[in-house]
A and B are shown apart, each in its own frame.
Chain A
Amino acid sequence: MRSSLRLELVAALAVGLLLAAVPMLIPGNITLLNLGILTFLYVAQGVAWNILGGFAGYVSFGYAAFFGLGAYTTALLWLAGWSPVLTYPIGGLVAAAFSLLVGAPTLRLVGPYFSIATIGVGEAMRILMLNLDKITGGASGLNLPTVVPSKTWFYFVALICAATSYAVAAWIRTSRFGLGLTALRLDLEAAESLGVRTTLFKNLAHIVSAALVGACGGVYATYLQYVHPDTVFSFTLSISLVLIALIGGLGTVWGPVLGAVVFFVVQDYLQTSYPTFHLLVYGLLLLVIILFEPGGMAGLAGRLVARRRGASAGPPAADPAPHAEHERAPMPRADAERPGTERTT
């Protein structure tokens, strides 16, 4: 296990360095830089989303709220004369603060109810922002300064975002914190009775991933030089993150990386002919994955590798599905007392 982990980190570092060298190796290719910037931002967000959605098992459909808050924080500070770089962490902080505000009550809900609540929160935020036209520009959005750093600069910033997300997720995966998240995902009550501070951990995971997504929102705003509530708070964006992580592989660190690359390439390829066609492709892919390969692409890859090694018990894929012990959630409250649980035989 440990040696394979080290191998994974070395590989990630190598890929990172290679990507960092691209602007030098192939200079002046703007298309490539643009492709890189957007892909890296998707990678950063998918990996970050997975910290709560994959590791802790709380599938949120509301991450656009964090992205949007980050984007608008950066936009407003930039308009007020700040240097963009300084605004990214602040956008992250604002997103993190908001995640604590909504997470503290909603993370008490059991799985699917949490997911539904996040749709409510995300959409409510979008509509609110559309109506706060004094601040957000409302339906006409905000135009941002036209003097911007070069594409190469954005390429590196986006790469740093992706690398940071990856590093944070990789660290969490191997840490005591990550073990606690896994435990609470598999069985909240058992984890709690073994001393895991489940409420604290869920919220921490939420905050960390929201901060990362918020910072990405800031980068996106400066890169496009324009923000609009319907784009940065869009439900489609929230869905994209869910799809990226699920199709890449929940609970693994590099699954969402793979998912994001495939997602963006498919989107980019189909964008001009049919703008939302990639969602159809992804919806179908998701159907197939949930029915046949709950571990996503990472799970599939793991299984193939295991088969080639002669089925030497590869690492288990973190799954959104099987195991009969998981009961169906009868009521939305996680901590609601269930009368009459005594079932002595």
Chain B
Amino acid sequence: MTTALTLDRITKRFGGLAALQEVTVQIASGDITGLIGPNGAGKTTLFSIIAGKTRPTVGRVLCFGHDVTGWSAHAVCRLGVCTTHQVVRPFGDLTVLENVRVGASFGASGRLGGRTAEEEAGEILTFVGLAHRRDSLASALTLAQRKRLEIARALATRPAVLLLDEVLAGLTPAEIQQAVELVRQIRARGITIVMIEHVMRAVMDLSDRVLVLNYGRLIADGSPAVVANSPQVIEAYLGEKISES
């Protein structure tokens, strides 16, 4: 089992506020890792640090052995680590296909020309189940479809590691079921997945391993069953029994 991502003592302070403190973790290649925690725990900040959107105050990020701390977001993406956005950000004026073409033309897949990029984009749209909307404007999609588009665009960059930030939030139970299935299929392609999620049943179902952040600290790390029963985690969620939420 190789290591896809290594976070080494990541600390991030905004002024006096510590959003992340000494987070150290290694993500195994091929796993689905769930990242959970209460609001404001620092999950999205951690993602932006990995993706190169924010610099950590202290600490290092290693992707496949490369120290990518301080790299810009596009460089991290081309190395094979792609992030989806919590609030989906499709290019509203482009068609669904063109949106995905951006990922295919610029990501880790390298310099794909017009035709190849377009074919690649078409295949990915079929894979995520958006082929029927390929020529619609992205702004015309439903929320569930936009989330799929967000994933499709990221997949088009041919990532080795995919960071999914709340792709299930706001979906109906039926849509969640479909999205969970999609995440499984993505993993079956050999892509390492780290996902921030609040829909507990889905995270517990999907993840090989769950990390829990609270007030910027990693308070639990283990299999879903172990984490769900950890007293610290239960306390962090104020006694809520998380397996039922």
Contact = CB atoms under 8 A, between A and B. Distances in A.
Nearest to A323: B92
Contacts of B53: 189, 192-193
A183 B54 contact: no
Contact of B74 (A186, A196, A316): A196
Nearest to B83: A193
Contacts of A340: 14, 17
Most buried by A among B41, B42, B53, B166: B53
Contacts of B15: 339
A199 B52 CA distance: 14
Contacts of A309: none
A232 B98 CA distance: 40
Contacts of A193: 51, 53, 73-74, 77, 82-83, 85
Interface string A72-100: 00000000000000000000000000000
B144 to A, nearest CB: 16
Given A179-B105, A189-B53, A190-B91, A195 B77 contact: yes
Interface in B112-140: 112-114, 117, 135, 137, 139
Contact of A325 (B74, B92, B103): B92
Interface string A158-182: 0000000000000000111001101
B91 A344 contact: no
B198 A344 contact: yes
B48 A196 contact: no
Given A179-B101, A194-B157, 13 more contacts: A174-B114, A176-B106, A176-B114, A179-B105, A183-B91, A190-B89, A193-B73, A193-B77, A195-B74, A195-B78, A340-B17, A342-B42, A345-B169
Contacts of B60: none
Most buried by B among A175, A196, A344: A344
A187 B14 contact: no
Contacts of B91: 182-183, 186-187, 190
B92 A192 contact: no
A339 B57 CA distance: 13
B43 A337 contact: no
Contact of B39 (A318, A323, A341, A345): A345
Most buried by B among A183, A316, A337, A342: A342
Interface in A286-345: 313, 316, 318-319, 323, 325, 337, 339-345
In the complex, the 10 A-B pairs of residues with the closest C-beta atoms, listed nearest first: A339-B14, A195-B106, A195-B77, A186-B91, A195-B107, A190-B89, A192-B73, A183-B102, A342-B44, A194-B103
B155 to A, nearest CB: 11
Interface string B144-169: 00000000011011000000001001
B86 interface: yes
Interface string B4-34: 0000000000110101000000000000000
A195 B52 CA distance: 11
Nearest to A337: B54
Contacts of B42: 342
Interface in B78-104: 78, 82-83, 85-87, 89-94, 98, 101-103
Interface residues of A, number: 34
Contact of A176 (B17, B117, B153): B117
A201 to B, nearest CB: 10
B92 A186 contact: yes
B196 A344 contact: yes
B93 A323 contact: yes
Contact of B82 (A175, A176, A182, A194): A194
Nearest to B107: A195
B19 A176 contact: no
A196 B105 CA distance: 9
A180 B98 CA distance: 11
Contacts of B89: 187, 189-190, 325
Contacts of A313: 135
B136 to A, nearest CB: 9
A196 B17 CA distance: 32
A197 B52 CA distance: 13
B45 interface: yes
Interface in B187-203: 196, 198
B108 interface: yes
B113 A176 contact: yes
20 contacts: A176-B105, A179-B98, A183-B106, A190-B89, A191-B102, A193-B85, A194-B77, A194-B82, A194-B154, A195-B77, A195-B107, A196-B102, A198-B74, A323-B92, A323-B139, A340-B14, A343-B44, A343-B86, A344-B40, A345-B169
